[in-house]
């Protein structure tokens, strides 16, 4: 993906607003055009199609996610800091999180480095072990999506569940 023009960046910002208001299924070119006060075909002058729009939103989401993870880094508990920032980002931006994680990524269509910048933090939290990092990401995503989808009983202590899972990872670190 090439760098976006200023107008395309405005369109992506408006798409993010539509996404936050209506969820992934509500993000349509028509809804976006209505928000912008233009006709839908005008969007295609700046972004080739809906997939290009979604890829631009996902790229921006990865940049925002990376910034949240960077702000939360802690040398004394990198696993806990990663998990807390991960969970907080997803619960504060559930529609964006779903758009970023529910379908295969078109990595070649994302802003170069955006996904890598975000994923670097789980590798740091896992002490540089790629397999452990994938497992930690799996735990974080699994608990997060179950929480977002309301799959735990109302009286479930989710903080305790997170701590149990994270303690298993902490025990594997040098």
Q: What is the pLDDT along the chain (174 residues), one digit of tens a residue?
A: 558 899 999 999 999 999 999 999 999 999 999 999 999 999 999 999 999 999 999 999 999 999 999 999 888 999 999 999 999 999 999 999 999 999 999 999 999 999 999 999 999 999 999 999 999 999 999 999 999 999 999 999 999 999 999 999 999 997
Can you list the domains of the chain with their CATH numbers? Answer: 53-170 (1.10.357.10)
Residue 170 backbone class (left: φ over 0; alpha: ψ -120 to 50; beta: rest): alpha
Tokens of 79: 């696993």
| Rounded Cα distance, 103 and 89, in Å | 18
């Amino acid at each position: 993906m090439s760098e976006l023009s200023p107008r395309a960046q405005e369109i992506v910002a408006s798409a993010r607003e539509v996404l936050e208001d209506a969820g992934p299924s509500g993000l349509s070119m028509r809804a976006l055009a209505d928000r912008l006060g233009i006709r839908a075909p005008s969007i295609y002058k700046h972004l080739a199609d809906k997939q290009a729009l979604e890829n631009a939103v996902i790229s921006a989401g990865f940049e925002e996610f990376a910034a949240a993870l960077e702000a939360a880094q802690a040398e004394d508990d990198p696993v806990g800091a990663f998990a807390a920032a991960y969970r907080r980002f997803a619960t504060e931006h559930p529609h964006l999180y779903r758009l970023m994680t529910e379908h295969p990524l078109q990595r070649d269509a994302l802003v170069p480095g955006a996904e890598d910048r975000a994923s670097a933090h789980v590798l740091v939290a896992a002490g540089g072990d790629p397999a452990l990092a994938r497992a930690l990401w799996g735990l974080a995503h699994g608990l997060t999506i179950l929480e977002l989808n309301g799959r735990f009983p109302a009286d479930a202590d989710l903080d305790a569940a997170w701590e149990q899972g994270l303690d298993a990872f902490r025990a594997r670190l040098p």
